[in-house]
Amino acid sequence: MLVRHGQSTWNREHRIQGQLDPPLSDEGRRQAMRVGRRLARHHFVGFYSSDLKRALETAQVIGAATGGSPSPTTGLREISLGDWEGLNTQELAQRFPEAWARWTEEPSWDVVPGGEGAVAFESRVVAEMDSILARHELGDILVVTHGGVIQVALHRIVGRPNHGLFPFRIENASISVIEKRNGRFVVSGVNDTSHLEGSE
């Protein structure tokens, strides 16, 4: 079960986060509480989180509801976006006009100046996911992480490389599910936000 972190202060401001470390906004904490309520009766044999604040805070709120304690790991961090981190799209267009023009024409992690790059990011995420799966042969695993990481995980199941073009919508505090059936992995849910609907 893959949960994207709740809204961060920079999500609210539409700033590129990458591996910079803004905390959850008040709305993000509310979203995390709703995820926690939804998963409160679910038993997980493994509980992992990115070590970046927005994900770890989300995981800790969920853990308070489920009785679990997340294991933070750098392998689940969002992709490093180098010189773009901390900027909004208007600032990107002004400061990096050529790279931004290439991105808008065909998004690719490899055009980001000083960034981690597609191959390194995918290799890191796949290695971390494989390590987690190897520790838990049976049972459900909860992973609280970032949109880019979830995209890589889903791409892998459908057999496509991930270079920056995101065909899946992964909203804050959404739940996506990958299941193992008869020895094969299948995607059984993407971007479920039903727990965020309605009033408190």
Cα torsion 19, 20, 26, 31 to 10°: value is 0
162-172 b/e (C-beta count within 10 Å ≥ 16 → b): bbbeeebebeb
Hey, what long-range contacts does 179-182 have (CB within 8 A, 24 or more apart)?
none
Q: Spot the catalytic one: 78, 85, 122, 128.
A: 78
Separation of alpha carbons 92 and 112, rounded Å: 10
User: 78 an active-site residue?
Assistant: yes
What is the secondary structure of 120-173 as a DSSP string? HHHHHHHHHHHHHHHH-SSS-EEEEE-HHHHHHHHHHHHT---SS---S---TT
Residues facing 181 on adjacent strands: 184
HSE-CB at 97 with a 13 A cutoff on CA atoms is 1
Q: Is 22 helix (H, G, I), strand (E, B) or coil?
A: coil
Tokens of 143: 């992973």
197 noted as active-site residue: no
As annotated, the active-site residues are 5, 78
